[in-house]
Protein backbone atom coordinates (compact mmCIF):
# COMPACT_ATOMS: atom_id res chain seq x y z
CA UNK A 1 0.00 0.00 0.00
CA UNK A 2 2.87 2.39 0.68
CA UNK A 3 3.76 2.24 -3.01
CA UNK A 4 0.29 3.44 -4.03
CA UNK A 5 -0.22 6.89 -5.51
CA UNK A 6 -2.52 8.79 -3.13
CA UNK A 7 -2.07 12.35 -4.39
CA UNK A 8 -2.48 13.73 -7.92
CA UNK A 9 0.00 16.28 -9.36
CA UNK A 10 -2.55 19.08 -8.82
CA UNK A 11 -2.69 18.37 -5.07
CA UNK A 12 -6.00 16.54 -5.14
CA UNK A 13 -6.50 13.09 -3.71
CA UNK A 14 -6.77 9.97 -5.85
CA UNK A 15 -9.66 7.48 -5.74
CA UNK A 16 -7.42 5.16 -3.74
CA UNK A 17 -6.94 7.79 -1.03
CA UNK A 18 -10.69 8.41 -0.87
CA UNK A 19 -11.34 4.68 -0.53
CA UNK A 20 -8.80 4.35 2.27
CA UNK A 21 -10.30 7.40 3.99
CA UNK A 22 -13.80 5.86 3.96
CA UNK A 23 -12.50 2.54 5.31
CA UNK A 24 -11.10 4.30 8.38
CA UNK A 25 -14.60 5.43 9.46
CA UNK A 26 -13.88 9.16 9.66
CA UNK A 27 -16.10 11.57 11.55
CA UNK A 28 -15.95 13.96 8.57
CA UNK A 29 -16.00 13.20 4.83
CA UNK A 30 -13.25 14.24 2.46
CA UNK A 31 -14.22 16.33 -0.57
CA UNK A 32 -12.87 15.11 -3.92
CA UNK A 33 -12.49 18.66 -5.26
CA UNK A 34 -10.47 19.97 -2.30
CA UNK A 35 -6.74 20.58 -2.61
CA UNK A 36 -4.95 18.42 -0.07
CA UNK A 37 -1.34 19.34 -0.82
CA UNK A 38 0.57 22.59 -0.96
CA UNK A 39 3.25 23.04 -3.64
CA UNK A 40 5.92 21.99 -1.15
CA UNK A 41 4.04 18.68 -0.65
CA UNK A 42 2.91 19.53 2.87
CA UNK A 43 -0.74 19.14 3.88
CA UNK A 44 -2.97 22.06 2.92
CA UNK A 45 -4.78 24.02 5.63
CA UNK A 46 -8.01 22.31 4.53
CA UNK A 47 -6.49 18.83 4.88
CA UNK A 48 -4.95 19.60 8.27
CA UNK A 49 -8.25 20.92 9.64
CA UNK A 50 -10.22 18.07 8.12
CA UNK A 51 -7.85 15.52 9.61
CA UNK A 52 -8.41 16.93 13.10
CA UNK A 53 -12.21 16.81 12.67
CA UNK A 54 -12.28 13.40 10.99
CA UNK A 55 -9.89 11.62 13.34
CA UNK A 56 -9.82 13.52 16.66
CA UNK A 57 -8.10 10.71 18.55
CA UNK A 58 -5.21 10.26 16.12
CA UNK A 59 -1.94 12.11 16.07
CA UNK A 60 -1.98 15.40 14.12
CA UNK A 61 -1.04 15.57 10.47
CA UNK A 62 2.73 16.13 10.10
CA UNK A 63 3.95 19.63 9.28
CA UNK A 64 6.70 18.28 7.02
CA UNK A 65 5.91 16.89 3.52
CA UNK A 66 3.28 14.16 3.46
CA UNK A 67 3.73 13.25 -0.21
CA UNK A 68 6.63 12.37 -2.42
CA UNK A 69 6.96 14.04 -5.85
CA UNK A 70 5.43 10.94 -7.48
CA UNK A 71 2.26 11.21 -5.34
CA UNK A 72 3.05 8.44 -2.90
CA UNK A 73 2.67 9.12 0.81
CA UNK A 74 5.79 9.71 2.88
CA UNK A 75 6.66 7.57 5.88
CA UNK A 76 5.54 10.44 8.12
CA UNK A 77 2.13 10.45 6.41
CA UNK A 78 1.76 6.70 6.82
CA UNK A 79 2.75 6.95 10.48
CA UNK A 80 -0.45 8.89 11.20
CA UNK A 81 -2.69 7.48 8.45
CA UNK A 82 -2.12 3.77 9.12
* pLDDT-derived band at 55, boundaries 50, 70, 90: very high
pTM: 0.91
- Give the residue from 9, 13, 63, 61 showing the smallest Cα distance to 34: 13
Q: pLDDT value at position 54?
A: 96
Give the pLDDT of residue 82: 87
pLDDT of residue 56: 95
Sketch the domain layout of the chain as residue ranges: 15-81
How distant, in Å, are the alpha carbons of 28, 59, 62 from that of 4?
23, 22, 19
**Mean of pLDDT values over 26-51:** 96
Amino acid sequence: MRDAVLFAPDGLGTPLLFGQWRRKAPQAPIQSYAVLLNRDLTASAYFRALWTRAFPTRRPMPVDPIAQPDGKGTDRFWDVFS
